[in-house]
Chain A
Amino acid sequence: MEDMLFYDRLQFAFTITFHYIFPQLTMGLSLIIVFFKGMYLKNGLEQYNEAAKFFMKIFAINFTMGVVTGIPMEFQFGTNWSKFSELTGGIIGQTLAMEGMFSFFLESSFLALFIFGEKLMGQKLHFLTGFLVFLGSWASGWFILATNAWMQHPVGFEILENGKYVLTHFSALFSNPWLIPAFLHNQVASIATSSFVVASIGAFYVLRNKKTAYGQLFLKTGVIFGLISSLLLAFPTGDWNAKNVVKYQPASFAAMEGIFNTEDAGAEIVLIGQPNMVEKKLDNKIAVPGILSFLTYQDWNKQIAGMDQFKKEELPPNVPALYYAYHIMVGLGTLFIALMGLAVFLLWRKKLFQTKTILWAIMFFVPFPYIANLTGWYVAELGRQPYLVYGLLKTQEGISPTVSSGNTLFTLLGFVGLYMLLGLLFLVLVGKTIHQGPKLLKQ
């Protein structure tokens, strides 16, 4: 039973991590594409139109990857988590089915039209199809976050005698207090990822001294979107989510902040340190006193519950992983603000395009928003442990009773091999597209 749970979790973690590389770009990038296309409609500069079409090519590759890695995600609820599906399918099945109905059909229909139909339908309609692709991809995020919000903070249901979770209030799924903050944080994070990608490609063109006009446009757009989204990530959306965790999952909050012992007054915020689970303390700690209490309650002296306040069964089983995921996310988020702030400052002083060091930094910074996005999701998912449905259904009670660990390991290995190949394909396609770049315009 133990190793069944282990392999089921490992397979889900691996496949969802790989999957989420792609949607986090498409959701943010679709907004930037709409921005480019909108600017073109406004000012008629061909450069903006070509930029929109170029990024739609990148979008399309990511969308394809998202589709093929997304189908296994949906199926795995049934294959590896059948008990969970059986018990809660009447509820989370709603939001997942709505995703297919309202998001994927919209996204896939209009993506094809955007790519193939520009000449056939005129510029205004072309803008509209781009906008509908954006709407579809964000709807997808909305329904997935609604599903996850229900697992983090279940609402609008009752439990029958046979253990089944039955929906009683449909609208509660979407007015869940967990949903809006999580959705906004997630969407802003995906804008950050795509801004970094856009800026990075821009930096590459400028540094190579090819397609420089595009490079400058991408840099300008990327760093401005990047600074705004990085700021929004911290405040208000990040802050808002942290307050939700304190309120609804206080045990997870203690674990992710690395608070082993409750202090009488004024909890410190930990910047660096390694959780020592044997001695129940942080090794090599660097912390600032009072800040955490202030950030959480706007009161420097307020008490915050540490892990000593909770029973072992209520605490996330893997405290170090949760702690690191959270601190990596927050640390990177801080760096984003610093880098993009500096870049925007240089842009304003008209020095950005000549400052090579910062261009190199922007170009190579591109993996980090991906890492921050993924670790952010790890915080949400590890923080929910040991539950699938917080406080109600334990993770080990959700696995498929008939699928042995040997079978899961077999399929996990298969996914690893196949996804490596898929990852290679992705890099080749994106690399080629960037190498070709947007169409050069005759001046």
Chain B
Amino acid sequence: MEIFWFIIIAIVLAVFFVLDGYDFGAGIIHLFFAKKEKDKIVISKSAGLFWDSNEVWLVAAGGMLFMAFPNFYAAVFSGFYLPLIIVLWLIVFRAIGLEFRNQFRFQMWKDLWDKAFGVSSLLLALFFGIALGNIVRGVNLGGVIDGKAVYEAQNFFLPLWNSSFSPLSETPGVIDWFTVIIGIISVVVLSIHGSAWIILKTKSSINESLKSLIFKLNIVLVVLTIISLAVWQVVKPNALQNFIDRPYLIIFPILYFAGIIGLFLDKKFKKDSYRFLFSTLVIIGGITASLASMFPVLLPSTNTVNDSLTIYNTAAENYGLSVAMNWGIVGFILLFVYMIVQKRIMKGKIDKMDYGHQ
């Protein structure tokens, strides 16, 4: 039952990053590459039409995590207090940028909110990567200093950084050089994904140059992936042990690399949707491979005093989990129906669609 809910939540989270990922990515592209007013409008529209329904997936993931793994939810959300609240602020701020932009017609106003949208998208992409880095690296569970725990075994509190910025320190912070590398990977991946989305959904004038941008970013991604794998071995020896013990898990990293390879074949694409499909694979593969490398651990302990948090020691009782499985299945069937209905009615490029409250 724990495994069932772990998989469901992983799927919902991955869907969230695929969906909201493209509008974060669109924000980054908007910040650095959109110069003409027409492109700016259509790119912010390509995010602005959908961001709120995409963020519903985050709410859903949060709710399910709360229900199925309450100990993990409680420990992680309070332990990563500051970065999480900052992410919430960025989400709100980004929404303000998107919704405010087209309210008044003078240039300074638009520039201001364009930057707000772009910068908060960039920071969110970075922070989500850093978050993944933190989960993979683990934390000092129980706040152990000199062999003594300050808090209860599953509790911790992370500062934003400590003076060494090292993941190997006894009390690592949220931001260190390992998590920053993962954060940058996240920015690169979401930029690719956002570009693919813009090409798929709009007729912006920079579509052609975005294609070559994807190619360049993809090379950067390969380099960063290799570096991160090497660094990962330093931070956590035996990081890849799980793939040797459970060889079937190798499917997840394969998805990731298949996505990257697919993106290199850009010139051969007959449809714009293939490009988006491959960048989706990269995201899903990246997230699931990271989770699979730890399974069944959810948050590793960096000290030897307290055990890591796993899906077993943080889960709710069996009765609750199995009841929830029943309504969960009904809910997902319904969701699937909505999505099909929505996709059938709202297909095609969005340039002509009404946007917002103008």
Interface positions of A (Cβ within 8 A of B): 57, 60-61, 63-64, 67-72, 74-75, 77-80, 82-83, 85-94, 96-102, 104-106, 108-113, 115-117, 120-121, 166-168, 170, 400-403, 407, 410-411, 414-415, 418, 421-422, 425, 428-429, 432-433
Contacts and interface: CB of A to CB of B under 8 A. Distances in A.
Contact of B335 (A91, A105, A410): A105
Tell me which of B334, B338, B357 has the highest count of chain A C-beta atoms within 10 A of its own C-beta.
Answer: B357
A96 B66 contact: yes
A167 B317 contact: yes
B81 A79 contact: yes
B345 A121 contact: yes
B84 interface: yes
A110 B78 contact: no
Given A75-B84, A102-B334, 19 more contacts: A67-B52, A70-B59, A74-B66, A75-B77, A75-B85, A83-B74, A89-B71, A96-B67, A98-B63, A113-B346, A116-B354, A117-B345, A166-B316, A167-B317, A402-B78, A402-B143, A410-B82, A422-B92, A429-B103
A113 B71 contact: no
Interface residues of B, number: 65
Interface string B70-114: 110111111101101100110111011001100100000000000
A206 to B, nearest CB: 24
Interface string B185-229: 000000000000000000000000000000000000000000000
Given A75-B88, A403-B157, A120 B345 contact: yes
A60 B52 CA distance: 10
A414 B317 CA distance: 37
B84 A79 contact: yes
Nearest to A400: B78
B155 interface: yes
B351 to A, nearest CB: 13
Contact of B56 (A105, A166, A168): A105
A104 B324 CA distance: 17
B327 interface: yes
7 contacts: A74-B66, A82-B77, A94-B67, A109-B338, A167-B316, A402-B78, A418-B92
The 4 closest A-B pairs by CB, nearest first: A89-B70, A78-B77, A93-B67, A90-B316
A71 B88 contact: yes
B85 A401 contact: no
Interface in B147-162: 151-152, 155-157
A400 B68 CA distance: 19
A98 B335 CA distance: 12
Given A112-B53, A402-B79, A101 B63 contact: yes
Contact of A167 (B66, B89, B99, B320): B320
B357 A57 contact: yes
B315 to A, nearest CB: 9
A106 B59 CA distance: 13
A98 B77 contact: no
A85 B76 CA distance: 11
B230 interface: no
Given A75-B77, A78-B76, A86-B70, A166 B319 contact: yes
Nearest to A87: B70
A90 B317 contact: yes
A110 B84 contact: no
Nearest to A66: B52
Contacts of A74: 59, 62-63, 66
A112 B151 contact: no
A357 B205 CA distance: 56
B83 to A, nearest CB: 10
Contacts of B317: 90, 166-167
A236 to B, nearest CB: 30
A88 B70 CA distance: 8
B324 A94 contact: yes
B342 interface: yes
A415 B103 CA distance: 24
Contact of A75 (B62, B151, B327): B62
B320 A94 contact: yes
B296 interface: no
